[in-house]
């Protein structure tokens, strides 16, 4: 978002090793590439960029490559014909029966003034199963008013279930070796010390 604000032309790409790298640009597939969604939102990709399978692993190949399609581990949705990737299926947070995509919440948070980075995870919650928790890197302190502004922004864009019940400011987001957010480490970081981290969250949707 900061790059866009500075006038830099940013093109988002989607793809993986199984598709020889990026095959969808700004939500639009390359010529010959096919995109489909399963009933649960899981993304399937087809076309000439696909690998033929996994070397030495016929069982995984059979599970992932079927009839010219590759079944990814990602969830998405189509908006005006463009693919929007919501995140990994196994990262999905289920809170009170509602599904929340961490990547979608992160996009809203990092679009807010002064938020340099964010990582959203689900942490155990006795009442709702999981609670949406956000670690944020800010350009200033996190107080109650700022916390509510962040929650309000997520609530307005994605609904009440997605608004983080826990917001914690951190100096940096833990990363894995390939530079992606380490969600397990982030969850541990958030839950190590809940003093001041767990503010009274917004009412859950089932509470009205």
Q: Strands 98-100 and 65-66, how do they pair?
A: unpaired
Considering the entire predicted model, what is its pTM? 0.73
Do 61 and 68 contact (CB within 8 A), yes or no? no
pLDDT at 204: 53
Q: Hey, what CATH class is 92-199 in?
A: alpha beta
The whole-angstrom separation of Cα 133 and Cα 120 is 6
pLDDT at 176: 87
Domain boundaries, the chain: 2-89, 92-199
107 SS3 class: helix
The whole-angstrom separation of Cα 87 and Cα 185 is 18
The whole-angstrom separation of Cα 61 and Cα 132 is 34
Do 41 and 77 contact (CB within 8 A), yes or no? yes
Angle between helices 144-158 and 102-110 in degrees, nearest 10: 120
Q: Hey, what CATH class is 2-89 in?
A: mainly beta
Q: Which residues of the chain carry a pLDDT beneath 50?
A: 194-203, 206-208
């Amino acid at each position: 978002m900061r790059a866009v604000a500075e006038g830099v032309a940013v093109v988002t790409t989607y793809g993986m090793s199984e598709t020889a790298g990026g095959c969808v640009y700004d939500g639009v597939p390359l010529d010959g590439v096919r995109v489909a969604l399963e009933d649960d939102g899981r993304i399937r990709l087809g076309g000439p960029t696909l690998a033929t399978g996994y070397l030495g692993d016929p069982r995984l190949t059979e599970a992932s490559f079927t009839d010219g399609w590759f079944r990814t581990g990602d969830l998405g949705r189509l908006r005006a014909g463009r693919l929007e990737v919501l995140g990994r299926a196994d990262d999905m947070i289920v809170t009170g029966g509602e599904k929340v995509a961490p990547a979608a919440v992160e996009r809203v948070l990092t679009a807010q003034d002064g938020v340099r980075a964010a990582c959203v995870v689900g942490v155990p919650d006795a009442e709702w199963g999981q609670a949406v928790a956000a670690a944020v890197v800010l350009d200033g302190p996190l107080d109650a008013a700022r916390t509510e502004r962040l929650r309000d922004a997520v609530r307005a864009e994605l609904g009440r279930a997605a608004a983080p019940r826990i917001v914690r400011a951190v100096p940096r987001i833990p990363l894995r070796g390939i530079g992606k957010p380490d969600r397990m480490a982030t969850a541990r970081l958030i839950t190590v010390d809940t003093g001041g981290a767990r503010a009274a969250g917004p009412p859950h949707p089932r509470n009205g």
